[in-house]
């Protein structure tokens, strides 16, 4: 669910489309299993071992479907990143500048710290 929060715009369709919401059910059921608010729990009773196995199997299938569903958004983001990176002039990065890879770290602590074996 933390990942969902990082890209809410891409995930909103899954929450608002009745045909796609089913992909989220195993995720939400397991995430909210012990929620202090009983209204957030999918099941009134604790999840049995048998039901947990079914939810985990459903989770595996859901993750693959969600991965395919979000592929166009990932490609669009990758293309936008490539375009931004390509538009910059290639100059030597100072070791104390932010790394151009977008990690938020200084270059010397990120890509500038690469070890070649």
Q: What ranges do the domains of the chain cover?
A: 2-69, 73-113
pTM above 0.75, yes or no: no
Model pLDDT, residue 85: 56
Q: Provide CB contacts within 8 A for 47, sequence distance 6+.
A: 29, 30, 33, 55
Distance between CA 117 and CA 99 in Å, rounded?
Answer: 22
Q: How confident is the model at residue 81 (pLDDT cuts 50, 70, 90)?
A: low
Average pLDDT over the chain reads 83
Most trustworthy range by pLDDT among 34-48, 72-86, 101-115: 34-48
Q: Within a 10 A sphere around the Cβ of 115, how many other Cβ atoms?
A: 4
* DSSP 8-state assignment for residue 8: H
Contact (CB, 8 A) for 53 and 66 = no
């Amino acid at each position: 669910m933390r990942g969902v929060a990082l890209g809410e715009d891409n995930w909103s369709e899954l929450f608002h489309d009745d045909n796609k919401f089913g992909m989220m059910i195993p995720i939400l059921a397991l995430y909210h299993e012990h929620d202090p608010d009983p209204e957030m729990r999918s099941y009134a009773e604790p999840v049995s071992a048998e039901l947990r196995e079914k939810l985990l199997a459903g989770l595996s299938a859901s993750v693959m479907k969600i991965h395919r569903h979000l592929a166009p958004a990932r490609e669009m983001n990758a293309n936008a990143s490539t375009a931004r990176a390509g538009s910059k002039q290639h100059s030597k990065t100072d070791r104390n500048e932010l790394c151009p890879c977008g990690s938020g770290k200084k270059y010397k602590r990120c890509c500038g710290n690469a070890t070649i074996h």
